[in-house]
């Protein structure tokens, strides 16, 4: 049996969660889905709590103008170095459409590989759910693309 000292589904009603055995309704919201990109995050979280919020979600994303990318960018060339992490980002998941055009993983935006050697397209117009981006197949159990995995 699972410990009730952690948040988990409430067995008597799967539409609720429980914490320490007590049912809890999670209430949340935010101005951005990528909270770490919000400049005044503490004030934003204080506001959420003041109106009864007890939950936030956070996606790892750079899709909005002005958001940070996860890699260091050379100020002279404008190219990303995928072997050097950026200081203002953890990681992300937007690998298609307009966002892919600016992504450091896109071969046209980094100094580490080109489209031919990486197998990654320079333009992806479909929804990420269409799985057009080879980026998602780079893992060892699929294509094991060691160039990208580096």
Summarize pLDDT for 59-105 with one digit per residue, the tens. 777 877 878 888 899 999 999 999 888 877 756 456 788 888 888 99
Q: Report yes or no: 95 and 105 within 8 Å, Cβ to Cβ.
A: yes
Q: Output the pLDDT for position 90.
A: 56
> Per the structure block, which two tokens stand in for 70?
């996860």
Q: Output the pLDDT for position 80.
A: 94
Indicate left, alpha or beta for 89 from its phi (over 0: left) and psi (-120 to 50: alpha). Answer: beta
List all residues 6 or more positions away from 103 whose beta carbon is below 8 Å from its beta carbon: 62, 69, 92, 94, 95, 109
Residue 66 lies in a domain: no
Rounded Cα distance, 66 and 125, in Å? 21
Alpha helices in the chain (DSSP H): 41-50, 97-102, 115-118, 146-149
Q: Output the pLDDT for position 114.
A: 97
Per the model's pLDDT, the better-predicted residue between 112 and 102 turns out to be 112
| In the chain, % of residues over pLDDT 90 | 38
Residue 13 lies in a domain: yes
Q: Residue range 40-46: average pLDDT?
A: 92
Could you tell me whether strands 71-73 and 80-85 are parallel, antiparallel, or unpaired per DSSP bridges? antiparallel
Residue 58 lies in a domain: no
Q: Report yes or no: 56 and 96 within 8 Å, Cβ to Cβ.
A: no
Residue 60 lies in a domain: no
Residue 63 lies in a domain: no
Per the structure, how many domains does the chain have? Answer: 2
Q: Report yes or no: 132 and 121 within 8 Å, Cβ to Cβ.
A: yes
Do residue 105 and residue 38 come from a single domain? no
Do residue 42 and residue 78 come from a single domain? no
Do residue 128 and residue 79 come from a single domain? yes
Do residue 45 and residue 76 come from a single domain? no
Q: Output the pLDDT for position 121.
A: 95
Summarize pLDDT for 1-10 with one digit per residue, the tens. 556 678 899 9
Do residue 39 and residue 109 come from a single domain? no
Do residue 99 and residue 134 come from a single domain? yes
The strands making up 17-19's β-sheet, listed across from edge to edge, are: 8-9, 17-19, 22-24
Do residue 137 and residue 99 come from a single domain? yes
Q: The whole model's pTM is what?
A: 0.54
Q: Domain of residue 96: give its range.
A: 71-149
Do residue 85 and residue 132 come from a single domain? yes
Longest CA–CA separation in the chain, Å: 60
In this predicted structure, the answer to whether residue 124 has a pLDDT above a threshold of 80 is: yes
Q: 80 pairs with which residues across the strands?
A: 73, 110
Q: Output the pLDDT for position 115.
A: 97
Do residue 94 and residue 43 come from a single domain? no
Residue 29 lies in a domain: yes
Do residue 139 and residue 104 come from a single domain? yes
């Amino acid at each position: 049996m699972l410990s009730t000292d952690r948040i988990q589904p409430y067995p008597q009603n799967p539409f609720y969660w429980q914490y320490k055995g007590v049912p809890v309704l999670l209430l949340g919201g935010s101005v951005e889905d990528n909270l770490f990109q919000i400049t005044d995050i503490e004030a934003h979280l204080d506001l959420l709590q003041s109106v009864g919020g007890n939950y936030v979600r956070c996606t790892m994303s750079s899709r909005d103008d002005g958001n940070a990318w996860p890699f260091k960018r050379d100020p002279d060339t404008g190219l990303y170095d995928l072997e050097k992490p950026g200081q203002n980002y953890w990681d992300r998941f937007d690998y298609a459409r307009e966002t892919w055009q600016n992504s450091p993983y896109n071969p046209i935006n980094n100094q580490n590989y080109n489209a031919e050697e990486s197998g990654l397209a320079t333009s992806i117009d479909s929804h990420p759910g269409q799985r057009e981006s080879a980026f998602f197949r780079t893992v060892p159990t699929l294509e094991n693309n060691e160039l990208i995995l580096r």
